[in-house]
Structure 1
Amino acid sequence: MVDAFVKSKIRDDKVTLFIKASCPYCRNAVELLQEFNFLPGHLEVVDITGMDDVQDYFQRTTGQRTVPRVFIGRTCIGGFSDLQNLYQELPGMLQKIGALQ
């Protein structure tokens, strides 16, 4: 059930962030990505507050259960620090998956 929920949110041409609203790293990740000019529907923020089963699923599938979990296309790039480390490469990555205007 939880795998179907996660997989329903992830697409080849979109960036998906799984966050908890109270998490400062999650807010920072959202702010960083909002700097880019996404096509409508190509940036989705999914609040998983209280959904420990989703975090358990991420532990099994990505090796980490922390949030944010950032997916560019179907690839989990990690969390906020990983997103920061990729900052210079993000425009090309986002262009490549067709997420930008």
Structure 2
Amino acid sequence: MNVRSLIILSRRPLTATTRQRSPTTTRLRFFPLALPFATTSSGPTLYQKITMSAQQIVDTALAPKDGKKQIVIFSKSYCPYCAKAKAQIQGFTKSLSQSERDQLEVEILELDLRDDGDAIQNYLETKTKQRTVPNIFIGQKHIGGSSDLAPYTNDKIKQALFAI
């Protein structure tokens, strides 16, 4: 059988033992890879579910929690730039007073350790125009990557977080 597109008509040459189907009852066959992405009236496709899930994860991570200030880093465990950014944020948190630390939440999502890490990274690219990691947010504001965070001193991070 020759394959010409994702959707092919299933037809066999007519012989004395095969019956002819009408054109309206000809069944469509899909490639196995296309099936999860085929749309039906029953709900969203698998791709749409993955995308929606990634969006919900990112939005939940960035949403304010209990009035706390937050720093969110989308990272990969093996990335040296991510390690540098995490070390800078860790140094910043150590410089804070206990009352300021109580008001702060640092969330790090290691994308390479998650099944949906690629989908999250794709969604972050549409949201921030940045596909690389680390992808850093301070107080719901997108900062950028490690090189964008590097010029931030502890005072500048504190000002970005605790400014009214």
The aligned residue for residue 60 of structure 1 is 126
What is the TM-score when the length of structure 1 is the normalising length?
0.84
The aligned residue for residue 79 of structure 1 is 145
- In structure 1, runs of 5+ residues without a counterpart are none
Aligned mates of 2:163, 2:107 — CA distance in 1? 17
Q: Check if 1:29 corresponds to 2:95.
A: no
Report SS of the residue matched to 1:17.
Answer: strand
What is the TM-score when the length of structure 2 is the normalising length?
0.54
Aligned mates of 1:11, 1:96 — CA distance in 2? 17
Pairing 1:82-101 to 2, within 5 Å after superposition:
82-87=148-153, 89-96=156-163
Residue 67 of structure 1 aligns with an amino acid whose one-letter code is V
Aligned mates of 2:84, 2:162 — CA distance in 1? 21
Q: 1:9 aligns with which of 27, 45, 61?
A: 61
Contact 2:76-2:82 within 8 A present in 1 as well: yes
Report SS of the residue matched to 1:35.
Answer: helix
Aligned mates of 2:92, 2:63 — CA distance in 1? 18
Report SS of the residue matched to 2:136.
Answer: strand
Contact 1:15-1:70 within 8 A present in 2 as well: yes
Larger displacement relative to structure 2 (18-27 or 84-93): 84-93
Aligned mates of 2:132, 2:147 — CA distance in 1? 12
Aligned mates of 2:63, 2:161 — CA distance in 1? 13
Residue 93 of structure 1 aligns with an amino acid whose one-letter code is A
Report SS of the residue matched to 2:63.
Answer: coil
Moved over 3 A (4+): none
C-alpha RMSD over aligned residues:
1.8
Contact 2:139-2:160 within 8 A present in 1 as well: no
- In structure 2, runs of 5+ residues without a counterpart are 1-52
Q: What is the deviation of 1:16?
A: 0.4
- Residue by residue over 1:77-97, the C-alpha shift from the partner in whole angstroms, topping out at 9 and shown as x without a partner, is 100000012235222113327
Larger displacement relative to structure 2 (42-51 or 55-64): 42-51
Larger radius of gyration: 2
